[in-house]
Every structure is written in structure tokens, then in C-alpha cells.
Structure 1
Amino acid sequence: MFWTVVATLGAAAVAFAVVQVAHLVVRRLGRRSTLLTELSDHAHRPFLVAATTLAVALGVRFSTGYATGEPWRQTVLHLLTLAIIGTVAWLVASLLLVSEDTALARFRVDVPDNRQARRIKTQIVMLRRVTIAVIVVLAVGAGLMTFPSVRGVGASVLASAGVIGVVAALAAQSLLGNVFAGLQLAFSDAVRLDDVVVVEGEWGRIEELTLSYVVVQIWDDRRLILPTSYFTTKPFQNWTRTRSAVLGTAEFEVDWSVPVQAMREELRTVCEGTELWDGRVCVLQVTDAVGGVVKLRALVSAADAPSLWDLRCLVREQLVNWLRDRQPTALPRMRTEVGDAGGDLPWQWVRPRRPARRPADAEAPDDARVFGGSDDGDARGHAFVGPEEPVDATR
């Protein structure tokens, strides 16, 4: 027993020293390498624990024999085997995370045109979640298989795997649907992290994307949590799928006397005087002119959605001030005209004269008929006429 403790402590000390020396060497060499830096920062602790546990297991195994006088040996070795499985799984997960972080370091998301970087980041994050889940499942399965009773049950479980698989698929079809939807979102490039979207009438950005749900940070700092299957089954707006630059509008209803060209020049002055405008689009158009008002639409562009929101608000404010201060007659007005019975202007009220009587059988003039009176009217009338002979229902 004494020699077992000594051998175990010696093996653990040797493993600890070797790992520490390797850590110092990697850290010194990693000053110019992103991969070595990530290894020294994230993989050092799991590597130290895994190496020490393996050294202790080897020390116990080779310092003791199979004599029946040592009943604790099998129990200790079994516990150490479980510890080795867990620490090795931790080490493998850390190495995968290091490789994923190294890949992410090559793509910057703090630049204006970061669509490609956000796509890669989304895919790597989803792969990270899948790989960690797979490693945990495999580690738990390997640990359970070290128990003889579990190995005996494993044969019967495998024999009925088909029935169990069908039952599990039916019971977890919603969960599995969300998982596959999350993978589809990550690799179909339909939505990425930091994309600006409009869902359920709310405008926000994709803050978190998992295998089962998506978190949308709304512009007022609320969080909208949706299942991933939502984005594969329902339509939504993605403002930054192809690029972050977007267009926006500001509409005005004004009087017919508005000087459109002067207002167009004022819009250009407003856009050129702010850093929110990206210099691409600055257009003022008359989109409608009915109902007593003229509808104008200002179309402007910005580098991203937040800048566009502020730019649209600025355009509205400045043009409203310009209309109020410079063109007050262009503000929306409702006109009322008072007629004069004695006036001779065409639009003023006059006493109606008695209409002349016409025969009762007189036909309406051709220009008052929709289904006749002309070739087009006759054709339209024939199109809406039913069958010439009644259909016999007894046939």
C-alpha cells in the first residue's frame, strides 16, 4: 500500500511537471501564433487534469497486482477510468473550441461589410454546440459501458432500437424539428448572427442563434425569443442578408401649392449635412396626388439599419421645419368655397332648370351604357350572358 501511494504521487508529479513545462514552451512560442495562444489559454487546464489522472491510473495499475488481498484495486481503477473518460472528453472539447476560435479570429465582425464574417461565425457557433453535445453523449455512453450490468442491458436495447427510435422520433418531433431547423439556418445563409430582421412586426437584430431557439434583440432592448422552426416556416424580413446598407423612406402629405423642386433641394441639403447618409440615394418623388393633398416620398440610404432610422427621423424633422418656416402655404389645407346665386361663374350655384320630358320608351344614350352601345360594350355584354337555352336538370 505504501509503495502504491508513492508510485501514484510520483507519477502525478511527473505528469504535472511535464505539462507545466510544455505549457511554458507553448506560451513562449505562441506570442506570434493565434493557434498556440489559444492552446495555452484554453487547453492547458484540461490537458493538465487529463494527464495527471492518466498518470495516477497507471501508477495504481502497475504498482499493485491482481492478488485477492487488494479488493479496493478494481474499485479505484474503475473510478479512475471514469475520470479519464471525463477528462479526455473535456480535453477533446477544448481542442475543438480552440480550433473554432482560431478559425473565427481570421474573420472580423467589427468592420462595416461583415456579412461573410457573420455567416462564418454563425456556422461555427452552431457546429460548436453540436460537437459539444456529441462529445457529452459519447462520454456518458462510454462511462456507462464500463459497468457490466449496463453492457448486459445494451444488447436488449440494441435489439429493440427500431421501436424505441420510432417512439422517440414521434415524442420529440418538435424538438428534432427545431434542431434541424437550426442547422438549416446556419448553413443556408438565411439568417446570421447580428442580422437586422423584422419579425412579428418587431424590428431588431439576431442576438443569439441556438439549435432550438433564436433570440432577437428588439430596438428598445426587449428580447423576442422564437423557435428556430419559425424562421423556416414563416416569412420574415432580413435587411442585411446581402449587405448592411439599406434604404428607407419618409412620406409627407402637403398642399398642391408645394414647390417640389425646392423641397427636393432642401432634402439634398439635409442629407449632405449629416454623417448618417452614406452618399448613395437621396430622392424626393411625388407618389400620389388625390384627395386634396399631394403625397411626397423621400427615399434615403444609410450604411446600416440604426443609422437609417436616425436619418429618416432627421429628414422628417428638417423638412417639417422647412415647410412650416419657408413654405407655410404648402401645409395641408381643406378648401371650402361659398357659392353666389347671382354669380355667373361656372362653378357657382345657379337655380336648376326643369328638365325636358322625354318619351318613356326612349333608349339611354350610348355613352351611358356599360354592356352595349359599342363593339367593346357588346362584347362585354355577351361575356356576362348565360346559356341561351335552359339546362335540363333531368338529363
Structure 2
Amino acid sequence: MTSSPALDSLSQISLATPEEPENQEETATTDPAEEITSELENHVPDEFEDIVAEAGPLLGILIGAALSAVVALVVTLVAAAVVKQIFRRKPMVKRAVNRTRTPMFGILFFAGSALSVRYAVQDKWWDGPLYVALVICVIVSVAWWALRVVKIVEAVILSKYIGEGEPGIEDRRGRRVQTQVDLIGRILAAIIITLAVAAVLLLNESVRGLGAGLLASAGVVSVVAGLAMQSTLANVFAGIQLAFTDSIRVGDVVVIEDNFGTVEEITLSTVVMKSWDGRRFIYPSAHFVATPFENWTRVGTELLGAVELDVDWRVPADALRGRLNRLLATTDLWDGETSSLQITEATGGHVQARVVVSARNSGELWDLRCLIREDLVNYLRTEHPYAVMTQRMLITNEEALGGKPESVATGQFGTVDPNADQAAAQESSEPPTDTQFPTDEGLFTGSIAAVERNREFSGPGKDAYRERKDRQLDD
């Protein structure tokens, strides 16, 4: 079947007619403003396009940071106000809130800024370092907040045992708790700082690789570190042992290596001892674990002290004992518990009179011993001079050997005082010699400075002694 030329021409017309409206539509939709804009964009410098592209993300970051600051400030202030209102009758809670507001604001602000950088900036060379820097700020703020919380918990625990006063030598309660809380606080602070540093280092991939390498050689590294830090680690563990075994507390009176003083501070690795003359001795903690030492306030402050006098054989012991009793009755340094005078030695041409007395603490005992020594020396010198120790010499010659035996005069006066056996009765009736210890010359008593010095040697307190005694009974 063949088609006619007329049909062919008609089909060509019908196929061509739809194309004309499309071209007309495209011509009609073309906007002159778009043509002008595209023409202007073609003539804009490339540097200006870069500035505009950079200004967009920066503006987003600034807006995000501003919003983060506002939200962080509002949340911090509202939370602080709510907590203060709930605990309005507890001043310590208010102080705790005030101390944690700043780090909490830092956490919220830097976290919000980091999120704004993450969502506002893409495919920029500086978005990665900026984001890491903000995350580091968040980690530091969290560590700061955690350290503040540790300090607040320490203050709450210490206030429960020692009140609102300044914890230290002046407070007499909760010394064991104070020592342990201080030590635990230092350990927690070290852990928090270590975790914060580790978190910061793990943000860098190169440091992660270094950490993996260190873990691969952990055996060698641990051996080297153990050998290098052997003494340090020994002191740290010794400090923990001292704190939790209650061998010593802050305020204990100790004698170590002939040094006498009070424990002023116990750290992770050292023990600070304050001597009676104000010097500070710093001992490693391991020294108290490995070396014996004296703790004069382990279960109490009461002590016995001795005064020894070398006197002549003719000393009236009863008179000397009576003088001691009269002296103790007139002084407040003696606690009224123990007093004795005994002749403990009788060799070498003299006798030794030993006085043993008791006092409430080591400071008062020192002054009491000095008082007794001075008073008895003055008493013997003025009332019984023949009792002062003398040197005896026996002189002989050839004529004396063939002569008639005679009594040899010995001693300072040659004869014994015939009234020596009545000295005790005389002492009880005669007024004592005025040899009282001056009230302003005592090392631990008689003045404000001496009393303050004596207070440092009063020990950790009765509660601590009672607790230690109870623990000994339980063991």
C-alpha cells in the first residue's frame, strides 16, 4: 500500500505544530531580572565570593555561641536559685552552689558552642581543630567541676566532725577523719586530672597510635617505670597505710630519731612534723612504716616523767620526799595521779634520788620536771648543804699506819649533821623555801605563747583516744 503526497504533507504539518508553543513558553518564562543577576555574578571577583562563603559559617558559629551563652547562663542561674531555695536553711549548700556555678556554666557553654560548630560548619579546614578545642574546653570544665565537688564533699564531712572551725592543729575532734578525708581527696583529685588528660590525648588520632604502641610494650614500660618510681610508689602506699591503719594522725605527738614534735600534715608521700621550737621535719611516709617511732598520744596525753638527782650519802630522803609533796600540792602542772621519790642507785660514792611524776600532757610534764629539779636543788643547797654530792679523799702516811686507829673525817663538813634524822619532821613544820618556778618563764605554761605551744602538744583529743581504745578492744 502506498501513501499519497497529500497525506505526507499533512503528517509533517501535524508533527511540527506542537513545537511552536514550547518555544513560545520558554521565551515567555525568561525573566529579565534573572538575566541581569546572572550577568552580575559572572563579573563578581573570586576573592569576594570567598569572603562571603567564609562569613556565613562564622556568623553561624557566633550566633550559636551567643545562644549557648544565654542558655547556659539561664540554666545555671535557675538551677542555682532552685537548689538554694530548697536548701535555704543550709548555708553550706549555698556555698557549694556558688562554688560550682562557674564550672557548670563552662560545661554548658562550651558544649553548645561545639554543637554549633558541628552543624554550622562543613568542609572547612578549620572546623576540625575548632571543634576539638571546644571539646577540650568541655573536658577541662568537667574536671574543674568534679574537683570542686570533691572539695565540697570534703568540707561537708569535716564540718560534721570538727564543726565550722578551721581544720588543723587547733581543732581537737575528728583528726582521724580529717587525715583520711585529706588523703582520699588528693587521690580523687589525681584520678580526675589523670582521666581528663587521658581524654584530651585520646582526641588526637596520632596520640591514640602512640598509646597503642605503649600498650604493646606494656611489659617493658611497666618494669622500667616500676624501677624508676619505686621509692615514690613506696611512699604513696605507705601514706595510704598510715592513714587507714591509724598509726598516726594530724596532731599526734611523736618522737622519731630523737626529734620531738607534733604531726602537722600527712600527704600521699610525706609526713610533716613540727618540733617544739617551730622547725618542720619532712619525713617520707615509708620512714614511718619501716622505722620504729614513739607516739605519745596514741590513746591519751597523760605521761610520766622522771627527775634524777645525784646527791651525797647523807641526804635526808624523808625530808626530800616531804619537800616534793609540798611542792606538788602548790602547782597546777601536776595532775594529781602519780608522784614518788626513790633512791635508785648507791654506787660510785653517791646516791641517786629519782622522782617520778605525772602530768596531763608532754608540755606540762616538761615544765613540771624543770620546776621539781630547780626547787629540790635550791632546797638541798639552802636547807641541807651536807647532802650536796661531794668528793671524798683518804690521805694516809707511814706514821699513820703504825699509829693508833682514829676516825677519819670525810665529806665537806667532816661530820654528819646530828639533826639529819629529824629533817623530815622539821620539813613538815617549817615554811618552804621560796623557789617557785617563775610563771613567765615556762616553755609550755605561764604565758600566752607558752599556752599556745602547749596546745599543739595536747594530742588529737579525747574522742580520738576513745575511738582507738575501742578499736583495740575489738581487735
If the TM-score is normalised by the length of the shorter chain, which range does it land in?
A: 0.7 to 0.9
* Preserved CA contact (<8 Å) 1:277 1:303: yes
* Preserved CA contact (<8 Å) 1:16 1:51: yes
Distance 2:170 2:338 in 1: 18
Flag the 1:19–1:285 CA change in 2: closer, same or farther, 3 A.
farther
Where does residue 49 of structure 2 map in the other structure? none
Distance 2:353 2:84 in 1: 64
Distance 1:30 1:188 in 2: 37
Instruction: Give the 3-state SS of the residue equivalent to 1:65 in structure 2.
Output: helix
RMSD between superposed Cα atoms in Å:
2.8
Pairing 1:279-318 to 2, within 5 Å after superposition: 279-318=336-375
Where does residue 7 of structure 1 map in the other structure? 64
Where does residue 159 of structure 1 map in the other structure? 216
Q: Residue type of the partner of 2:282?
A: I
Where does residue 126 of structure 2 map in the other structure? 72
Higher mean C-alpha deviation, range 226-235 or range 105-114 = 105-114
Which of the residues 154, 173, 183 maps onto 1:100? 154
Instruction: Give the 3-state SS of the residue equivalent to 2:247 in structure 1.
Output: coil
CA offset digits 1:55-107 (Å, max 9, x no partner):
34324514762653544333222112111111111211221222122212233
CA offset digits 1:20-79 (Å, max 9, x no partner):
454456556667536525514xxx344423333423432451476265354433322211
Indicate whether 1:173 and 2:234 are aligned: no
Once the two structures are TM-superposed, the CA of residue 117 in structure 1 deviates from its matched residue by 2.3
CA offset digits 1:218-244 (Å, max 9, x no partner):
222222222211111112211112222
Instruction: Give the 3-state SS of the residue equivalent to 2:340 in structure 1.
Output: strand
Once the two structures are TM-superposed, the CA of residue 302 in structure 1 deviates from its matched residue by 2.1
Distance 1:180 1:300 in 2: 40
Where does residue 373 of structure 1 map in the other structure? none
Indicate whether 1:194 and 2:251 are aligned: yes
Flag the 1:24–1:332 CA change in 2: closer, same or farther, 3 A.
farther
Where does residue 182 of structure 2 map in the other structure? 125
CA offset digits 1:102-154 (Å, max 9, x no partner):
2122333789994x722222222221221111111111111111112112222
Q: Residue type of the partner of 1:182?
A: G
Q: Residue type of the partner of 2:211?
A: G
CA offset digits 1:145-167 (Å, max 9, x no partner):
11121122222222222221122
Number of aligned positions between the proteins: 344
Structure number with the higher helix fraction is 2
Where does residue 343 of structure 1 map in the other structure? 404
Distance 2:103 2:169 in 1: 39
Instruction: Give the 3-state SS of the residue equivalent to 2:335 in structure 1.
Output: strand
Distance 2:251 2:347 in 1: 42
Where does residue 140 of structure 2 map in the other structure? 86
Instruction: Give the 3-state SS of the residue equivalent to 1:106 in structure 2.
Output: helix
Instruction: Give the 3-state SS of the residue equivalent to 1:229 in structure 2.
Output: helix
Where does residue 50 of structure 1 map in the other structure? 104
Where does residue 442 of structure 2 map in the other structure? none
Once the two structures are TM-superposed, the CA of residue 259 in structure 1 deviates from its matched residue by 2.4
Instruction: Give the 3-state SS of the residue equivalent to 2:174 in structure 1.
Output: helix
Where does residue 115 of structure 2 map in the other structure? 61
Distance 1:38 1:311 in 2: 47
Q: Using the aligned pairs only, state the percent identity.
A: 40
Distance 1:34 1:275 in 2: 42
Taking structure 1 as the reference length, the TM-score comes to 0.78
Instruction: Give the 3-state SS of the residue equivalent to 2:310 in structure 1.
Output: strand
Distance 2:170 2:340 in 1: 24
CA offset digits 1:345-381 (Å, max 9, x no partner):
5889xxxxxxxxxxxxxxxxxxxxxxxxxxxxxxxxx
Distance 1:28 1:321 in 2: 71
Distance 2:328 2:175 in 1: 29
Instruction: Give the 3-state SS of the residue equivalent to 1:289 in structure 2.
Output: strand
Pairing 1:254-269 to 2, within 5 Å after superposition: 254-269=311-326
Which of the residues 243, 255, 260 maps onto 2:300? 243
Where does residue 359 of structure 1 map in the other structure? none
Distance 1:209 1:289 in 2: 47
Once the two structures are TM-superposed, the CA of residue 329 in structure 1 deviates from its matched residue by 2.0
Flag the 1:208–1:113 CA change in 2: closer, same or farther, 3 A.
closer
* Preserved CA contact (<8 Å) 2:117 2:131: no
Runs of 5+ in structure 2 lacking a partner?
1-57, 410-475
Where does residue 335 of structure 2 map in the other structure? 278
Instruction: Give the 3-state SS of the residue equivalent to 1:181 in structure 2.
Output: helix
Q: Residue type of the partner of 1:13?
A: V
Indicate whether 1:182 and 2:239 are aligned: yes
Distance 1:59 1:279 in 2: 73
Instruction: Give the 3-state SS of the residue equivalent to 1:193 in structure 2.
Output: coil
Distance 2:239 2:225 in 1: 20
Higher mean C-alpha deviation, range 336-345 or range 8-17 = 336-345
Runs of 5+ in structure 1 lacking a partner?
349-395
Flag the 1:247–1:28 CA change in 2: closer, same or farther, 3 A.
farther
Higher mean C-alpha deviation, range 15-24 or range 74-83 = 15-24
